[in-house]
Chains A and B, each alone.
Chain A
Amino acid sequence: MRVTPAIALRLTTLAVGALVMITPFLYMVSTSFKAQQYVLKVPPQFIPDPATLANYERVLTKGNFGHFFLNSVLVAGTSTVIAVFLSAMLAYGFARYRFPAREWLFRLLLLGLMIPAMMLIIPQFILAKWLGLIDSLPGLVVFYVAGNLALNTFLLRGFFEALPAELDDAMQIDGANDWRRFLDLALPLGRPALATATIFTFLATWDEYAWALTSITTPENQTLPIAIALMQGPKGTQWGLVFAASIIAIVPVIAVFLTFQRHFVQGLTSGAVKG
């Protein structure tokens, strides 16, 4: 490729923009290696001097950070698996069968796409209290699963509808019942769409803040977003510590993103996914 002035100008603009986008991250990484007396030094240090691993050491060994990390893994992992599986069942039901009230029920699901989660937080709190689901990890899972059904069903239904009906018919002739056809045909063929749904659900549940803030009261039930938000001190936040914890918390997400980039683009273009 020949580099014309136009291309050079375009690449320069993109690079400057990318630098603006990435600088906050780089500065966060830098600060996570600084001792407290250097974090708000003027002029700022871009390369920590002296660099220290003390923040990471403290995050990993003192306090309950490992426990919060495990909570997040458990809650996000379980919620994602259940939400994607139930959504796949819903989507398959809507895509493959005709039954009374079908359109009506699907519209009810679409309504869930338009109602922002925060609007429901007060009645959900009352409901959770009444059902004994407050301040517990299973309580988080139940609401995360319910909250992610609408989007995933919407995403997966289109995919299942596009699968050729001939394969389904052939399996039926071979005597496979509806459940077998779902498990052995629809799910394997639906892998790309299921991957997309899995990634977006995992990100949403890993980062969820408002519901965890509302329902969790015992420190040992905290997930990462809550634990990190609470690391702010009333006076003088330990910024190095906060960012060491933050970096450990966002590494899994960035790893997932970098690995499954292709599915991200697919998911976004099949519409209606707001990150």
Chain B
Amino acid sequence: MDQVRRYLAPALFIAPGMLLYLVFIVYPMLQAVAMSLFDWQVVAGAVSVFRGLDNYARALADPRVWLSLSNSGVYMLFTVPPQIALGLGVALLLKDKSPAQPFFRVLYYLPVVTSWVVVSLLFKYLFADKGLINWGLGLQVSWLSDRWTAMVAICALGVWKGIGWSMMIFLAALQGVPQALIEASKIDGAGPWMRFRTVTIPAIWPTVAFVTIMLVIGGLNVFTSVQNMTGGAPGGDTDVVLTYMYRQAFEFLDFGYGSAIAVLLTLLVFALSAIQLRFFRNETMA
């Protein structure tokens, strides 16, 4: 009885949210793994056949999976480093309090709060055959109808939309760099670059790690922009993993296969995060 009374209050606080979370998030996690082992039938009454790891074998042998994975990889490679470099660069320029700081902060952060659908359509328009980009560069490129030029447009959007986020995080981290250390290294005769390398970077290293890991995860999860800018066109050449997965599931109704691709991508995300964590930890020790 005493036990019941003691745990009643926390149970009542936790229960409503936890129940919702278990049913609508945790159960689907397990269900995704389960579905990936079946030739899953959507139609009511039809029997789903257990196939073991067949869906996984099929995914690993599917050239389109590798193509979409390489597109996701390209996206990651060409959006993560620029977002870190430019975000950190802007943060360094903005870090000293000045009347202009809030103004610039807002301008750089505006794309972050704008909906992905809207900015995807906006970039589709800017990269149109007779659009602003072609005119500005004096080109006649049909950006969105070829794999590599389409990836340029998609990556440009990713960088443009993401700079503000990493800038904001770096800005906060830079406020925490001890001023005394900077003064001390000035007295020791260190130039700006030397101070940046020996004082600033070590001080914000955990933030660099955090931003990198989050951006890599975000990069592998790119979906809305590709879906709305090219929809995988031409002929699936610009598909990333999630648009390919989405099409397998909701166009071809191959739910088991789609689930297998989703599980594989999740494993990849976890593995990459673990590797990065280890890398960043070792680098601090050195």
Q: Interface on A for B, CB 8 Å cutoff?
A: 1, 10-11, 13-14, 17-18, 21-22, 24-25, 27-28, 31, 39-44, 86-87, 89-90, 92-94, 96-97, 99-100, 102, 105, 108-109, 111-112, 114-116, 118-127, 142-143, 145-147, 149-150, 153, 178-179, 182, 203, 206-207, 209-210, 213-214, 224-225, 228-229, 232, 237, 239, 242-243, 246, 249-250, 253-254, 257-258, 261, 264-265, 268-269, 271, 274-275
* Interface membership of chain B positions 20-31, coded 1 if the CB is closer than 8 angstroms to chain A and 0 otherwise: 110111111101
Question: With A242-B121, A253-B115, A274-B218 given, is the CB distance from A150 to B25 under 8 Å?
Answer: yes
Please determine whether A228 and B160 come into contact, CB atoms closer than 8 angstroms. no
Question: With A87-B17, A120-B29 given, is the CB distance from A232 to B121 under 8 Å?
Answer: yes
Give CA–CA (A229, B124) in the complex, Å.
Answer: 12
Please determine whether B21 and A40 come into contact, CB atoms closer than 8 angstroms. no
Give CA–CA (A249, B122) in the complex, Å.
Answer: 14
Which chain A residues lie closer than 8 Å to B180 at the CB level? none
Question: CB within 8 Å of A: which of B223-259?
Answer: 223-224, 227-228, 242, 245-246, 249-250, 255, 258-259
Please determine whether B250 and A275 come into contact, CB atoms closer than 8 angstroms. no
In the complex, 25 of the A-B residue pairs with CB atoms within 8 angstroms, ordered by the A residue number, are A13-B93, A21-B108, A21-B163, A24-B123, A24-B160, A31-B125, A40-B128, A40-B131, A97-B7, A97-B13, A105-B14, A114-B217, A119-B266, A122-B258, A142-B20, A209-B115, A210-B246, A213-B227, A225-B117, A225-B118, A229-B228, A246-B115, A246-B122, A261-B105, A268-B172
Of all chain A residues, the one with the shortest Cβ separation from B108 is A21
Question: CB within 8 Å of A: which of B160-181?
Answer: 160, 163-165, 168-169, 172
Which chain A residues lie closer than 8 Å to B102 at the CB level? 261
Please determine whether B10 and A14 come into contact, CB atoms closer than 8 angstroms. no
Give CA–CA (A240, B39) in the complex, Å.
Answer: 45
Describe A's contact surface by its main secondary structure: helix
Question: With A86-B16, A114-B273, A122-B255 given, is the CB distance from A18 to B24 under 8 Å?
Answer: no
Question: With A97-B13, A150-B21 given, is the CB distance from A119 to B27 under 8 Å?
Answer: no
Q: Give the B interface residue count (CB, 8 A).
A: 89
Give CA–CA (A150, B26) in the complex, Å.
Answer: 11
Please determine whether A22 and B110 come into contact, CB atoms closer than 8 angstroms. yes
Give CA–CA (A275, B214) in the complex, Å.
Answer: 11
Please determine whether B250 and A214 come into contact, CB atoms closer than 8 angstroms. yes
Please determine whether A116 and B221 come into contact, CB atoms closer than 8 angstroms. yes
A144 to chain B, nearest CB (A): 10
Give CA–CA (A21, B108) in the complex, Å.
Answer: 6
B204 close to A (CB within 8 Å): no
Cβ contact of B115, chosen from A27, A127, A225, cutoff 8 A: A225
Which chain A residues lie closer than 8 Å to B109 at the CB level? 257, 264
Please determine whether B110 and A254 come into contact, CB atoms closer than 8 angstroms. yes
Please determine whether B13 and A250 come into contact, CB atoms closer than 8 angstroms. no
Please determine whether A14 and B168 come into contact, CB atoms closer than 8 angstroms. no
Which chain A residues lie closer than 8 Å to B172 at the CB level? 265, 268-269
Q: Interface on B for A, CB 8 Å cutoff?
A: 7, 9-14, 16-18, 20-21, 23-29, 31-32, 35, 42, 86, 90, 93-94, 98, 100, 102, 104-119, 121-126, 128-132, 135, 160, 163-165, 168-169, 172, 210, 214, 217-218, 221, 223-224, 227-228, 242, 245-246, 249-250, 255, 258-259, 262-263, 265-266, 269-270, 273
Give CA–CA (A27, B136) in the complex, Å.
Answer: 13
B128 to chain A, nearest CB (A): 6
Cβ contact of A93, chosen from B10, B94, B108, B217, cutoff 8 A: B10
Question: With A40-B131, A86-B16 given, is the CB distance from A24 to B25 under 8 Å?
Answer: no
Give CA–CA (A125, B108) in the complex, Å.
Answer: 36
Question: With A21-B110, A115-B29 given, is the CB distance from A122 to B20 under 8 Å?
Answer: no
B34 to chain A, nearest CB (A): 8
B117 to chain A, nearest CB (A): 4
